[in-house]
């Protein structure tokens, strides 16, 4: 009987240990990826626009000094132009876009176990594009470009909003065009992210067209959805 009781205690200990290990595998409900509260935070990003290819759009990313003691947040703003500079050597098919992309770093952002990307933003009524870059495992061998996955995110005008985008909603793209093929993202090998805006396109009812744009961004997180 003592031997049987000893076996039961031993089995229970193993079960508790297994349960503890399983809980270790479950990630926290949310994971901070980027925040935009200081100039140091903004140094992790770089800007791009159609001006690199003969366009006339412009963008900035800054932390405004509010002067009232309130929390600072990053502001991505600029002007979208669909015109091209005279005498441009580039032959681009479209203009009117700007973006901010995280800089390269060693390693990966591991989003295994998470279901969605969340962005806390306050915008101008435009529709922005959230992009996730993953390690190249879809493109043909020899191509150096990262794989990109994109989803629209609406930025309501003058109101803070937490946009939650399921990872399943991100579509594979190549140079801004959706790839018409079924592919699956590898969330464990994320190399970076970007937020961009185009003069044309986006959700129905969202502001579009050339002109100024402005979106405040507080943070970007990964979420486990209930």
Give tens-digit pLDDT for 189-223.
999 999 999 998 877 888 999 999 999 999 999 99
pLDDT of residue 125: 95
pLDDT of residue 192: 95
- Residues 152 and 201 sit within 8 Å (Cβ to Cβ): no
Cα gap 191→45, rounded to integer Å: 13
- Residues 185 and 41 sit within 8 Å (Cβ to Cβ): no
- Residues 54 and 84 sit within 8 Å (Cβ to Cβ): yes
In the chain, what is the straight-line distance between the N-terminal and C-terminal CA atoms, in Å?
45
What are the residue ranges in the chain where pLDDT is below 70?
Answer: 1-25, 66-70, 87, 89-93, 137-144
Cα gap 77→58, rounded to integer Å: 8
Cα gap 134→146, rounded to integer Å: 6
- Give alpha helix (H) positions in the chain: 2-25, 39-42
pLDDT of residue 61: 98
pLDDT of residue 4: 43
- Give alpha helix (H) positions in 31-120: 39-42
pLDDT of residue 222: 97
- Residues 196 and 130 sit within 8 Å (Cβ to Cβ): no
pLDDT of residue 211: 96
């Amino acid at each position: 009987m003592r031997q049987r009781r000893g076996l039961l205690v031993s089995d229970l200990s193993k079960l508790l240990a297994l349960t503890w290990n399983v809980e270790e595998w479950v990630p926290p409900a949310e994971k901070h990826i980027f925040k935009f509260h200081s100039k140091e935070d903004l140094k992790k990003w770089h800007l791009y626009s159609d001006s690199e290819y003969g366009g006339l759009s412009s963008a900035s990313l800054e932390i405004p000094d509010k002067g009232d003691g309130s929390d600072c947040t990053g502001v991505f703003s600029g002007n979208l132009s669909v015109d091209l500079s005279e005498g441009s050597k580039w032959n681009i098919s479209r203009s009117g876009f700007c973006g901010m992309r995280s800089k390269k770093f060693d390693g990966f952002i591991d989003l295994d176990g998470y279901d969605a990307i969340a962005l806390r933003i306050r915008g101008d009524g435009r529709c922005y594009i959230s992009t996730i870059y993953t390690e190249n495992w879809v493109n043909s061998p020899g191509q150096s470009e990262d794989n990109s996955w994109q989803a629209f995110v609406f930025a309501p005008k003058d109101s803070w909003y937490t946009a939650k985008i399921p990872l399943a909603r991100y579509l594979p793209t190549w140079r801004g065009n959706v790839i018409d093929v079924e592919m699956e993202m590898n969330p464990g090998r994320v190399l970076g992210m970007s937020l961009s805006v185009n003069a044309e396109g986006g959700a129905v009812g969202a502001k579009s067209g050339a002109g100024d744009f402005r979106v405040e961004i507080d943070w970007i997180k990964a979420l486990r959805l209930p």
